[in-house]
Structure 1
């Protein structure tokens, strides 16, 4: 049985293949940075968290579990690192951190789409999404923008599987209400706009 490309690259990396490690870093450091910035505007904290993550991966490569989705594995790990670094900085008095700040999640979409109708709808959707609570925004981002499964979203966010389904449903219902449209059109728009 042949491994999928992510499994193959990950296994090569775990065996010490430096080209595989370089590939993982080159492919995923920008998506990780983008995700990290949604939790904090502290650019240095995000960069340090990513650097910490990759140092730890390199140091513990022979002890890492297998994965068939590298992005999922890295997003989950980075989220933990960022929250740990935010808490550590809070203890040092460098940043003000409370429970609400840990639940902060900023989400915005650009509307660099040619047709005016789609641009207007995307603007309306972005405004409606920004009215959602942070946890719902993060769920929508991971589910539709990063195309993770409900189980993967649950693991990244450290919630149970059912919570993800509930959050998606709550978000869609709220967006439906805000945009005065159907659930199906919102899902269709997510699926066509953020792939």
Structure 2
């Protein structure tokens, strides 16, 4: 178990005991991750921020009944994804849209208040990576983002995206193959690049 996962479990244990400072710490630790992921799903800053606020209000009010079996980060990502889709459904009730349509807008770039690429903006590989990445389908982009940019396990990615583990492996393999072709590089080189960013 990573240090982050261990800290998350400790904080959740304290939250269940009624520790508001632990809730605040959990919020501060994960706000940026939730915001960046949420904003990439749906480009509405206010809606995403409201969903994050509601998520933590729910965590506090339902803390005694909520059961978190995996990592707290995985639970929060699942929750924010579902919350955003539910809010979009409400706001688009006169013009119904599906999750697939929302996911078409999923994008990774330099513009979501992220420090992710801060020290590498001149790197040609990053330019090629992002150009290729954003030509993938929405589901493929989300898959690789969660797996490599957020460092989630294949099982966690499947849980977050609401698909089976088997389907997640197929989607991951297809996304990597497409990205490799779009970047014009070998599979081993692509994996080494993505594994590097997983460690940033």
TM-score of the pair, normalised by structure 1: 0.89
Give, in angstroms, the shift of residue 107 of structure 1.
Answer: 2.2
Contact 1:144 1:191 in 2 (8 A): yes
For 1:115 and 1:34, the matched residues in 2 are separated by 18
Deviations 1:174-194 (A, max 9, x none): 112112221111110011124
Partner of 1:165: 169
Partner of 2:97: 98
Give, in angstroms, the shift of residue 157 of structure 1.
Answer: 0.5
Higher deviation after alignment, 149-158 or 68-77: 68-77
Give, in angstroms, the shift of residue 137 of structure 1.
Answer: 0.1
Contact 1:11 1:66 in 2 (8 A): no
Deviations 1:32-51 (A, max 9, x none): 11111011111111111111
Runs of 5+ unmatched residues, structure 2 = 111-116
For 2:120 and 2:183, the matched residues in 1 are separated by 21
Alpha-carbon spacing, 1:155–1:77, altered in 2? closer, same or farther (3 Å) = same
Partner of 2:114: none
Contact 1:38 1:105 in 2 (8 A): yes
Partner of 2:32: 30
For 2:31 and 2:163, the matched residues in 1 are separated by 25
Say how many residue pairs are matched. 188
Deviations 1:4-55 (A, max 9, x none): 3221211111111111111101111121111110111111111111111111
Say what the alpha-carbon RMSD is for the aligned residues.
Answer: 1.8
Runs of 5+ unmatched residues, structure 1 = none
Contact 1:37 1:46 in 2 (8 A): yes
Structure 1 residue runs of 4+, over 4 Å off? none
Aligned partner (choices 115, 138, 143) of residue 139 of structure 1: 143
TM-score of the pair, normalised by structure 2: 0.87
Of structures 1 and 2, the larger Rg is shown by 1
